[in-house]
Amino acid sequence: MRLNSLKPAAGAKSAPHRVGRGIGSGWGKTAGRGHKGQKSRAGGFHKVGFEGGQMPLHRRLPKRGFTSLSRRFVEAVRLSELQKLGAEEIDLMVLKQAGVISILAIDARVIRSGEISRKVSVRGIGVTKGAKAAIEAAGGSVAVAVVKKAAGKKEARLAARRKAREAAIAAVEHKSAEPKSAPPVKKAPKPATDAAPKKAAKPAAK
């Protein structure tokens, strides 16, 4: 087989209609568009689902649920499959190498299906509550990797505001912890004196 010899199977392809080539062809005159209307005009177009201006069907119907784009890349692993593996430490790469999950899988989740009696250590993959209890009952351990979410603009702004608030509170607490200076000693008030000295009384006239 050569690339230059590849071609579609017989009957898989048919020649397109050559419209507008005379009425004898069956696709002449109006070229299969009919007589009048928007679709018969040059450039006549409307978007898919357009219903003349009324609310289209895809907007009238209610929407339910959520379809994850990555769900097909997350696979389930049974306890009985972990029992058959020879490795004691089990992670995503070990499951791929053993053929338990697909090479394209980006994550896995251990479910409680089957039994496990040997000690295994599960790392970096999801485990249900029932499967975790079964693994720990057999003497194993489960360590789920914690993925930190990248901080966005809003998270960074809130973190900066929180940090400034903590710094202000720390400054107030530090100021209140400083020893207060002794209040100034007030001087004793001076004894009250007459505003103006009294003049000596004149001797009485004889």
Going by their DSSP bridges, the two strands 126-127 and 107-111 should be labelled as: parallel
Provide the whole-model pTM. 0.43
Q: Quote the CA–CA distance of 25 and 104 in Å, as a whole number.
A: 52
CA 18 to chain centre: 52
For the chain, first and last CA: distance in Å?
163
Q: What is the pLDDT of residue 19?
A: 93
Q: Tell me what percent of the chain is helix, strand and coil, each rounded to the nearest 5.
A: 30, 10, 60
Q: Is the pLDDT of residue 179 over 60?
A: yes
In order of their start, the domains of the chain are 71-143 (3.100.10.10)
pLDDT in tens, 125-171: 999 999 999 999 999 999 876 555 555 778 888 888 888 888 888 88
Buried b (16+ CB within 10 A) or exposed e, 98-135: eebbeeebeebebebeeebeeebebeebbbeeebbebb
Going by their DSSP bridges, the two strands 121-123 and 126-127 should be labelled as: unpaired
pLDDT in tens, 5-27: 999 999 999 999 999 999 999 99
Residue with tokens 């057999």: 138
pLDDT in tens, 50-107: 998 999 999 999 988 888 877 888 899 999 999 988 888 999 999 999 999 999 898 9
